[in-house]
A and B are shown apart, each in its own frame.
Chain A
Amino acid sequence: KAGVTQTPRYLIKTRGQQVTLSCSPISGHRSVSWYQQTPGQGLQFLFEYFSETQRNKGNFPGRFSGRQFSNSRSEMNVSTLELGDSALYLCASSLEITYTGELFFGEGSRLTVL
């Protein structure tokens, strides 16, 4: 069974540009969430989607947005990039009917903003 797939794995952008990251969840998983990981702040929640609806949003500026498609694939977009947006962006999917509902993470998209 394929795991969570994120593309691209690495990318370099300059300040002011925008970026789109993609996430394909594990087959059958309808819940997708996004996290930003930095050395200073650790993992911080960005968004949560279920059946194309955003269920929750973290404390990030409006430059961060996302969406989920009918096949459960998700994308997140960051506009007007800032140096501080350099981070590892992790996507996770979940099969919520299990007892734990644990998150299965992808290997992430590492964004460097110059």
Chain B
Amino acid sequence: GQNIDQPTEMTATEGAIVQINCTYQTSGFNGLFWYQQHAGEAPTFLSYNVLDGLEEKGRFSSFLSRSKGYSYLLLKELQMKDSASYLCAVRLANSGYSTLTFGKGTMLLVSP
């Protein structure tokens, strides 16, 4: 079966840096996504990695190691509005293009 693991909860302080890890064991791989979901809102796209390495986009960066089945999302200069659930999702090879397998999400609480 497919398995995606990420921590359930994390806490951090405003202005700090936090790293959210995601490990996956899937049959085939065709890209990894990170989504942000605020309470009561729709998930919104943050990043996409299909090749090994780091993708940077403003305060957010995402890293992928396909050989290790590992990714992380790095959030810098944390702000209160970053308090949200962060979802790691894998697109499987030989699967529908819009078929993603999600982890259960990491709830990040940013405190003053």
Contact A103 B87 (CB under 8 A): no
| B33 located at the interface, meaning its Cβ lies under 8 Å from any Cβ of chain A in the complex | yes
The CA-CA distance from A31 to B100 in the complex, in Å, is: 13
Name A's interface SS: strand
Q: Name the interface residues of A27-78: CB closer than 8 Å to any CB of B.
A: 31-33, 35, 41-45, 48, 50, 55-56, 58
Residue in A closest to B33 when the chains form the complex, CB atoms: A102
- Say which residue of A48, A50, A102, A105 sits within 8 Å of B42 (CB atoms): A105
| B58 located at the interface, meaning its Cβ lies under 8 Å from any Cβ of chain A in the complex | no
Interface size class of A (residues with CB under 8 A): 20 to 34
The CA-CA distance from A105 to B101 in the complex, in Å, is: 15
Contact B104 A41 (CB under 8 A): yes
Contact A100 B96 (CB under 8 A): no
Contacts A41-B104, A43-B87 given: A101-B98 contact, CB under 8 Å? yes
Contact A45 B42 (CB under 8 A): no
| B48 located at the interface, meaning its Cβ lies under 8 Å from any Cβ of chain A in the complex | yes
A: residues with CB less than 8 A from B are 4, 31-33, 35, 41-45, 48, 50, 55-56, 58, 90, 92, 94, 96, 99-108
B: residues with CB less than 8 A from A are 31, 33, 41-45, 48, 87, 89, 91, 95-105
